[in-house]
Amino acid sequence: MNNPHCILSRQRKSGKPQDSGKVKINIDASVKENVDYLDRGIVIIRDEGCNVLAAASKCSHGGFHAHIGECLAVRERILFAQANGFLNCVVEIDAVNLVNAVSKPNLQSSDLNVIGDLLHQLSQALLTN
C-alpha cells in the first residue's frame, strides 16, 4: 500500500465501499449511566469490497462520559489496526462531537488531554510505514 495513513471521518450511512487500497474501520462505544464499565464497542475492519478483515471488542471497568469513551475507543482501535498491519484506513464513527473535537481542538476543553492523545495517534498513523 502506498502512503500509509488514517483519516477520522463521520460514519457514512450508505454502504458504499472504501476507495481502493484503503480499509474502513467502524467504531462505537457504549456507556451506561450508573454502571462501572465501558463497552468500547466492536471494531470492524473492512476492505474496499466490504469484506470483514478483522473484528474486536473490549470492555473495561471505570466510569466514563460517553465522549471520553468514544475517544478511548478510537485511540485503541487505531492502535489495533496498526498492530495488525492495516495502515491505509478511514476511521468512521457516528459521534459528531468527536469528529468536531478532533477537527478543531478547543484549548479550553476539559478533555483536551484525551483529544491530544487521539490527535497524536492519528499523526503517528500518518508517519507509520
The answer on pLDDT for 14 being more than 70 is: no
Query: Higher pLDDT residue, 52 or 121?
Result: 52
Q: Which domains does the chain have, with CATH numbers?
A: 5-127 (3.30.420.10)
Average pLDDT (107-115) is 62
pLDDT at 42: 61
Average pLDDT (11-15) is 51
pLDDT at 128: 41
pLDDT at 2: 40
pLDDT tens for 25-64 read: 777 666 666 666 666 556 677 888 888 888 877 777 766 6
pLDDT at 1: 39
pLDDT tens for 56-110 read: 777 777 666 777 777 777 777 778 888 888 877 777 777 777 777 767 766 556 5
Instruction: Give the N- to C-terminal CA distance of the chain in Å, as an integer.
Output: 9
Rg (Cα) of the chain, in Å, rounded? 14
